[in-house]
Structure 1
Amino acid sequence: MEKLKFAVVDLETTGHSPEKGDRIIQIAIMFIENGTLTNEYVRFVNPNQRIPVFIQELTDITNEEVENAPVFEEIAQEVYDLLDGWIFAAHNTNFDLTFLQKEFERCGVKRWKGKQIDTVELSKILYPSAVSYRLKELTEELGITLSSAHRADDDARATSSLLLRCIDKVKGLPEPTLTLLHKRSFTLKSDISLLFYLALVESRRVSDKTNLSLFRGIPFRQAERLQQLHPRKIAFPTTQEAKDQLLNQAYSTYESRNAQLQFMDAAWESLRTGTEIMVEVPTGIGKTISYLLPAAVHAIQTNKAVVVSTYTNHLADKIIAEEIHTVSTALSVPIHVVIIKGRSNYISLSKFAEMLLSGESTYDNTFTEMQLLVWLTETLTGDVNELNLSGGGMLYIDRIRKRNSRLAEDEKDIDYHQITLENCKYADLVITNHALLLSDGPSKKQIVDETSGLIVDEGHQLIHAAYKTNEIIFSYTNWKYVMGQIGSESDDQISRRIEKILVRKMWNRSRTRTGLSEAFESFSIAFDHAIQELSGSNSIQRGHLKGSRLHVALNEIPADQTKFQEVFQTMNNFIEKAIAYVSPLDHEIESLSSKEQAILAEWHYWINELRVKMSEWIELFLENGSEGTVWIEQDQRSVPGSLTVIKSPINSAEVIRKALESFILKERGIVWTSGTLSVKSDERFVARQLGVDSTVPVIKLLAPKHFYTGAQIFIIEDMPDIQQVAQAEYVEEVAEAIIQTVMVTEGRLFVLFTSQDMLNKTHELISDSGLLEDYALIAQGISSGSRYRLLKSFRQYEKAVLFGTNSFWEGVDVPGNSLTAIIVVRLPFSSPTEPVFKAKTAQLNRMGKNAFTSYALPEAILRLRQGFGRLIRSSSDTGFFIILDRRIETKSYGKKFLEALPDVPVKKVSLARMVHELNNCYNK
């Protein structure tokens, strides 16, 4: 490995397309020999054109710096000669090498030939859990110095360090892992196979000292098993002085707050007496530690864990990372904590082993297998959410998730999910998510049976989770994908591989094969006719247009029910024939090779997937009398590919109380907590949707008086009335307000929308204007990545604006000056055509209730409160809450929104006046 010579290259250019006239403005080459950086070549290049302003901002390279530099024609041959005979490496060779080759061609220099290593591709394999593979973020995560991102010299040095770090990691992998990686590395886009080969040769020379276990030849790190802790004597602190003393041990800057101590007492009393309470806790009083501390004491005293349910897996992980050490320090005892998620969050080692044997060789599959092989040498949880995968990678992961509790004999003592469940017996705190809490199955039953209480954090989110976890979703593209896996006649597809096994065993019968093909064709035809019935209906053409996406209730479509029945009948017939087709192999499975058994297991996997889909089909299209609302979504630009049918429950309370029945019957304490559990005009609005009995108190704690002194609310008076103007006109005014606010605050703000369509149009208008080209415009639904990744990007850029829809109104935490303002584009009412909202309001109207005042208004008020809660996270924070929707001033219900917000100054001003006031604030 040390004998390899790398030339690590980075280019800065005027743009991405040399064909359109873009040119190099800086080139850097770092030369690595014997594992050491030995030489550097760094040159500015005159592009013979002005450098675009945004490129100057990005790279900090000015026109003056390149004015006297050589043009690339003068140094092209010199650069070629320097690279000749070296392995070309770059962080995205597809850009740097491709651009360089085009420039060589333009300058009359021959095309460079040689091996190449792409550190993006390499780092994705070796660091499969990295948050981002952009050079700046990746090097920051790995602790590699990158002084000035987007300067060729600094980027090339950082890439060199990254390459050497990757090589060291390759050399440290166990021999069986290297063997499996090397075998798969020939399908990669760069010559990474060379690294795996040399590391494998070296590994075979020395004895492998790995402490990893093997499962069917796959090295993996076993999950840790908890042991029973020695008895710990501990008492809950009953006086203020005792509580302050405990928290002083945990926090060097602890400040006593009455609300925090009141919450601790309330949580303790609920757990101790087995009663239910709801506690609305203001931001900034230390809510999490306030329930974890009494929960830990109660668990230790009863020798049974307390369950803590959070809305997201990320929040569950965050509690472990940031809070548990604090609890242990405060109580001066060790605390055992287990995070448990639904079993489909965990890898099935046996399914992965089968996939490795089955031999599918697409790039996405092979690449994901390589990532998993490295990840298994590191993970202690087996939680696939740790992985950062491509879309194709997620499809692969879906095939190796743990779907049921059955375990192979050699898997029983090592299964990650099973070990996590067993660890719950020895845990003081079991951290889970709302989805698992709402589920029904042996995992949840085991958790409930062995615990002594429940704390539901972000309790109001259980309402949304109740709808989401009980949704049934039909996706045309997903169905076609599954049908393609089992029905394709291509040589590398599963049906052909099964046929080859049957031929080898002399069990292949042409009549059986023909019958199977005819059954699949009948199923496909019936399916296509049913889809035509749905997507081609005149009713759906008249459906509600949301952007270019249509929404229409299924019961509004005059569909021919016999078409849906035919799909069920032909699908059932095909499944029966598909099972019979491989029955000779099932009966003689011991006579098959390991690879053939894996192929047979994959056949059964896809048949089971079809079985699941058949059940969904029945519930969506054939059980018309079942509870819930069913609707169709379809993008008119992509028919029928975008067709989706969704069924959701209407009544969240019934779903939630059924899920919590075992806690209630066993008289275990339940503590509901959130920053928003009530509405001033309807104290029990949230409680009713959660199904909480009217006798359960809602305790509302208050923030310290000085907590919101740094906040101001602005209502912009000269915005057009959103209900009186066309959307395009309103979007123009919104874009102008955003641009002016960003320019004076220098970014660091959220723009909150209620519609993805309006977000898209506003973002497009601002981007096209070029007025904010110096800012990172991060937009949900446009910028790639999850909510968590978008938030991380927002924190990393000093000049950033984040455009978010519903999920950014709450549950995101940006403390300090990273967030200085929030712009509310419109009051957060649900769209009246949103299917669940529409069904819910229709139900209320049938009951003789006013759906607007009893549901739509309090729901919107809660969401606005949650949005405001993003702004002020501590008493030292300052920030501006800017409302563009004038209905908060002009409508009679507007004052209810303002009454629900904290008591902070409200200013009704023009946009120009607000900008002037903000400018004065920032100048101070």
Structure 2
Amino acid sequence: MNSKADVILEIFEEKLGKHYGTSVIRESQVQMALDIGEFLESSKRIMIIEAPVGTGKSLGVLVPALVDRKYSIYNKRSLMYATATINLQGQLMGSEIPLLSSIGLVKYPIIAKGKTHYYCHYRLREQERGKEYSLFSPRDREVLENFYQTSKTGQRSELEGEYGFDIEDEKWKKVELPMNSNCRDCSLSMLCPTIAHRRRFKSPENDVVITNHDQLITSFLTAMDEESIYEPVLQTDMGIVVIDEAHEFLETFIGRLEKTFTISYLKKVEKYIDQDKHKWTKSIHELRKWIETNKENNEKADTGRYMLNDSVLATLKELNQIINDNLFRASLKKAEILDQLSSVLYRFTQTTKYTSWVSLENNMFHVVENNYKEVFRKMLNHIMKVNKVIFMSGTLTVNGDFSYIMNQWDIHPREAMTKILNCPFDYKNQALIYIPEGLGDPNKDEFIGKALEEVYNLLKVTGGRTLLLNTSKHHMDGIYTGIKDKLYDYGIPLYKQGESGVEKLTERFKETEESVLVGSGSFFSGFSIAGTSLTSVIINKLPFPAHNDPIVELISRGIDKNKIFNQVSYPMMVNKLDQAVGRLIRSIEDYGIVTILDERIYTASYGKKIQELLKGHGYILTRSWDEVKSFYVKKLEKGAEAEYKQYSRSSLIMGDQLCKPNKKVIQKEKHIQQKIEQKKGLYISRNITKTQTSFLTKVCRDNEFMIILKGSTELVFKEVCSILYLKDLQVKEIMRDFPYRNDTEKEELSKYLELKGTGRTVEIVHAERMGEKKTKIIKKEQREFLKGLIENEGLNISIERIANNAYISVYKELYNKWKDTQLQYLRKYFPYQDEEEKRELSTYHGGERKRVYPLCVKLGCDGTCSEEQHGKITQYLVDTYKATRVLYMEAKEVHRIQIEPIEILDHAEFRPDELLQTV
């Protein structure tokens, strides 16, 4: 074994099978891993992979990416893995990551969810002043108080999992971390588990960060904004960015470009309006009335998005004019608020540059720029500067063609590596797709009543075990209400999206085998339940986007109206349908029925294409109820009756770059051989152990000297003995209890207790240690490395001629500007000339931080600056940092705190405001 390809093959052919207790190897998964490994060795920056359900794409990308990290000599890339669904994030952290950790590929993983998945205790405390406090019982408040005091992460999933407290969406929305939160100024920040966890998102030790599309996009957009004083929430230069469930990525991106406001916000701003207040109030009333009318007219719509008409746009223009008239008289604080709202409202009036709509569900108005593709491409270019990008999903092509998705992402075919993998499942034997007759148009009022009869029959046959997927809240509520009583009579548990968090619902459904789950968008993808807990998926209708959906209108700009259906609507539907159908079969042992309650598959002009698409995957389609029953009965008796394609290494395609001999892989093999030889009684020096390091640390401290305690045991042991001799100390006595690994190591190292066997005298050792070291001129690759770091971070320094001096000057500048992530990067990836230079420079620490005395409001004061509040801050500084002096100095309405010793200000909590990252 001498290449990365060998390592990858060993993991899939031996280690994974041993972990899962199976001899089955999925050829498509191994091929995917090899393809990605080759991509990481290539000069290409983008890879797009369609990996059907069952490929095992999570491990297919994680294994080669982490092998690349472990065995790359200089370019040690870490991994950011972004998903569209919270379900997949939980699955990765609960299953794949522990496995990879057990085989030594992952050390420091972290899950970085979006803000709304974290608890905000301040919001619960705020509820005490409002009528909504009654939503929370005394028991609720007790549990949440305890969660705030003892939680590790502040995540909703932790609250519902480890604390066993189910909280429905209505309550959670009252205590979730707001999108516009400013946690650093919160009076509860010192003990907040949410803040503590989210601060670790950018820790330099993270080797895998699992996040979501939204947070990834926001971080890169922030990094692109040169005028922003904030840093991204996530580290944007990890090296490898994986975008899973990539079919949803663009729509999420468009959502991040949006500017929004709500009716309730307009009402709050009313207090800042002095001129034309009557007009302002009347306009708000007209907007609210218009929304209510549209809610009544669109109760059954598949989307909550509704385009704005000319009347509404005129009203928004009038509101904008009222704001502008009031700006001239407003105080500085009021003017800032009004000016921000004015810039948002102005966009709604520019219909040629922006697309706008209202979300009927939450009365929120949205506006987004029409040139979103240009911004998307700029962001993609920014990502590619320092990262390799891998887009992957089970549904990225239409009939094997990437053209649709690459056109949407503005990616030229020549700049991306593409791959379509074969599905490993035997759908012909494992599944049946049933399209009932006689249900009619799913958009008609009578549809739900007819559909319920089919649903009842299916639930009787399968005994529950069903996921019901709906394209609208109207259908979801109608189906849920229609089956609720009957399932209660049958003793079958019924769950509905919104009753608790998605992760908790998924866990319940999986553990309660006969249960039924009714859901919508969140469950169309990322929901994976293998086994007999899920043997039936029912889809209420073909998931076409609404004909007046503003997002479709935006994506369709510039396309001939006659071509929009074929180029936009149909591909969007096909991708979502593929995702929905793919929820059923998740392993080779699975079986079941997919029911699509939409006979347009047989009656519409495009129906034939859908039939061919499903048959092309290997499914058998039927409209016969008798065939459905006989199929299911047979599966109950005989199981899936399917097998994976026989694995053969000779069938794999392996790239030349991945198969090249790798120095670190070969070293690992030598290390394994060393272990074998050690077992035979031969001595080979190995890296120093933690126990040995602890012992020698004490020796150094007790005898008032310090050396770098890294490297081989022999090297460090010899150096400690040499210094003890120089100090005329009793070496044998001091080193008597050294924790040797075994007798062989003890016998070999004992020669240094008398400084024998080295061929050197104490005088020679002393001369070597005290003599001047030969200066090393900086190498070209070192200069290029430092040059790139200086340019990326905007440092105003030049690169010195001597390697050590150049490294130290850059280090000091980064340290001064609190760029700790970049310091870690410098230590890890600087191309040291040899092991000696690495030992010296990688442990260097020096320089001074930029220090600013903090404002009292940054440490919990609410601005009233009472003695009580300042007393709490003083006590906090004394208890936490052992402050010897705390003095409050007046500074613009609040106080600035002088803290001594001044070195306390070197802690991250006191980083100057202009260098702060957002939480």
Note the aligned Cα RMSD (angstroms).
4.3
8 Å CA contact 1:677–1:687 kept in 2: the answer is no
What does the per-residue CA deviation read over 1:359-385, in whole Å, with 9 as the maximum and x for residues that have no partner?
A: 999556896875554224433335566
For 2:511 and 2:339, how far apart are their aligned partners in 1? 43
Which amino acid in the other structure matches residue 272 of structure 1? Answer: E
- CA–CA separation in structure 1 for the residues paired with 2:622 and 2:120: 58
Q: Which amino acid aligns with 1:674?
A: S
Alignment equivalent of 2:393, drawn from 662, 671, 674: 674
Query: Against the structure 1 CA distance between its residues 324 and 612, is the aligned structure 2 distance closer, same or farther, given a 3 Å change threshold?
Result: farther
Check whether the contact 1:296–1:335 (CA below 8 A) recurs between aligned residues: no
Alignment of 1:433-448 (within 5 A): 433-439=212-218, 440-441=221-222, 447-448=234-235
**Corresponding residue for residue 297 of structure 1:** 67
Q: Is the 8 A contact 2:316 2:345 kept in 1?
A: no
Cα distance in 2 for partners of 1:521, 1:387 equals 46
Partner-residue secondary structure (3-state), 2:537 = strand
Residue 452 of structure 1 is matched in structure 2 by 239
Q: 2:452–2:483: 8 Å Cα contact kept in structure 1?
A: yes
Residues 1:745 and 2:462 aligned together: yes
Contact 1:272 1:669 in 2 (8 A): no
Q: Is the 8 A contact 2:157 2:504 kept in 1?
A: no
Q: 1:766 to 1:411 in 2, by over 3 A?
A: closer
Kindly provide the CA deviation profile for residues 164-192 of structure 1, in whole angstroms up to 9, marking residues without a partner as x. xxxxxxxxxxxxxxxxxxxxxxxxxxxxx
Deviation at 1:306, TM superposition (A): 2.0
Q: 1:430: which partner in 2?
A: 209
Distance (Å, rounded) in 2 between the aligned partners of 1:761 and 1:344: 28
- For residue 47 of structure 2, give the secondary structure of its aligned residue in structure 1: strand
> Which residue does 2:575 correspond to in 1?
862
**Structure 1 residues 279-319: Cα deviation after superposition (integer angstroms, max 9, x where no partner):** 11122232212211122122233334122112234533432
Give 3-state SS (helix, strand or coil) of 2:182's partner: coil
Aligned to 2:827: none
The separation in 1 between residues aligned to 2:15 and 2:294, in whole angstroms, is 64
Aligned residue runs from structure 1 range 497-536, under 5 A:
519=272, 525-536=278-289
Q: 1:564 aligns with which of 319, 328, 331?
A: 319
Q: Does 1:876 align with 2:589?
A: yes
Secondary structure at the aligned position of 1:323 is classed as helix
C-alpha contact (below 8 Å) 1:544/1:550 kept by paired residues: no
**TM-score normalised over the length of structure 2:** 0.58
**Residue identity in the other structure for 2:61:** Y
Residues of 2 paired with 1:543 and 1:471: CA distance? 26
Q: Given the alignment of the two structures, is residue 420 of structure 1 paired with residue 200 of structure 2, yes or no?
A: yes
Shift of 1:831: 1.7
CA-CA distance at 1:323 after TM superposition: 1.4
Shift of 1:409: 14
Name the counterpart of 2:174: 395
Q: Residue 110 of structure 2: SS of its match in structure 1?
A: strand
Q: How much has 1:633 moved relative to structure 2?
A: 4.8
Instruction: Check the 8 A contact 1:815/1:877 in 2, yes or no.
Output: yes
**Which residue matches 1:830?**
545
Q: Secondary structure at the match of 1:817?
A: coil
Q: Is it true that 1:247 corresponds to 2:6 in the alignment?
A: no
CA distance in 1, matches of 2:623, 2:514: 26
Q: Secondary structure at the match of 1:380?
A: coil
Larger deviation, residues 824-833 vs 759-768: 759-768
Q: Secondary structure at 2:358's aligned position in 1?
A: strand
TM-score, scaled to structure 1: 0.58
Gaps of 5+ in 2: 161-166, 224-229, 639-919
Question: Which is bigger in relative contact order (C-alpha 8 A, separation at least 6)?
Answer: 2
The residue aligned with 1:195 is none
Q: In the aligned structure 2, how far is the partner of 1:555 from the partner of 1:700? A: 43
Change (3 A) 1:682 1:539: farther
Task: For 1:921 and 1:356, locate their aligned partners in 2 and report how far apart those are by CA, in whole Å.
Answer: 53
CA contact (8 A) 1:708 1:904 kept: yes
Number of residues paired by the alignment? Answer: 612
Task: Classify the secondary structure of the residue corresponding to 1:851.
Answer: helix
User: What's 1:463 paired with?
Assistant: 250
Distance (whole Å) between structure 1 residues aligned to residue 519 and residue 371 of structure 2: 27
Once residues 737 and 896 of structure 1 are traced to their aligned partners in structure 2, the CA distance between those partners, rounded to angstroms, is 25
Match of 2:356, as an amino acid? V
Which stretch of structure 1 is more off in the superposition, 547-556 or 742-751? Answer: 547-556
Q: What is the aligned partner in structure 1 of residue 37 from structure 2?
A: 268
Partners of 2:22 and 2:254 in 1: CA distance? 41
Q: Is the 8 A contact 2:124 2:175 kept in 1?
A: no
CA separation in 2, counterparts of 1:398 and 1:526?
35
Query: CA separation of 1:257/1:622 partners in 2, compared to 1, >3 Å: closer, same or farther?
Result: same
CA contact 2:84–2:213 (8 Å) conserved in 1 = yes
Asked if residue 306 in structure 1 is aligned to residue 79 in structure 2, the reply is yes
Query: SS of 1:647's equivalent?
Result: strand
Indicate the residue corresponding to 1:576 in structure 2.
331
Are residues 771 and 375 of structure 1, via their aligned partners in 2, closer, same or farther at CA, if it must alter by over 3 Å? closer
Greater Rg by CA: 2
Distance 1:820 1:653, change over 3 A: farther
Name the SS for the 2:424 alignment partner. coil
Answer yes or no: is the 8 Å Cα contact 2:119–2:175 preserved in 1.
no
Query: In the alignment, is residue 732 of structure 1 matched against residue 449 of structure 2?
Result: yes
Deviations 1:795-849 (A, max 9, x none): 3444333333333222211211111112233222112122222443464226xx6
Tell me how far apart the structure 1 counterparts of residues 217 and 431 of structure 2 sit (CA, whole Å): 37
Cα distance in 2 between the residues matched to 1:626 and 1:328: 49
State the distance in 1 between where 2:180 and 2:358 align.
28
Distance 1:410 1:659 in 2: 32
Report the counterpart of residue 618 of structure 2 in structure 1.
904
Change (3 A) 1:539 1:809: closer
Amino acid at match of 2:429: T
The match for 1:632 among 327, 340, 358 is: 358
Q: Hey, what's the Cα distance between the residues in 2 that align with 1:358 and 1:234?
A: 64
Give the distance between the partners of 2:370 and 2:613, measured in 1 at CA: 26
Residue 337 of structure 1: aligned partner? 109
Displacement of 1:462: 1.0
Q: Identity percentage over the alignment? A: 22
- Matched residue of 1:441: which SS? helix
What are the within-5 Å matches in structure 2 for residues 635-646 of structure 1?
643-646=363-366
- Give runs of aligned pairs for residues 646-725 of structure 1, distance below 5 A: 646-648=366-368, 653-666=373-386, 668-680=387-399, 682-695=401-414, 696-704=416-424, 706=426, 709-716=429-436, 718-722=437-441
CA distance in 2 between counterparts of 1:374 and 1:874 reads 40
> What SS does the corresponding residue of 1:454 show, helix, strand or coil?
strand
For 1:553, the equivalent position in structure 2 comes to 307
Cα separation, 1, equivalents of 2:445 and 2:483: 13
- Alpha-carbon shift at residue 905 of structure 1 (Å): 4.7
Change (3 A) 1:634 1:283: closer
TM-superposition CA deviations, 1:732-778 (whole Å, max 9, x none): 22111111111122111122232322333344344577896643343
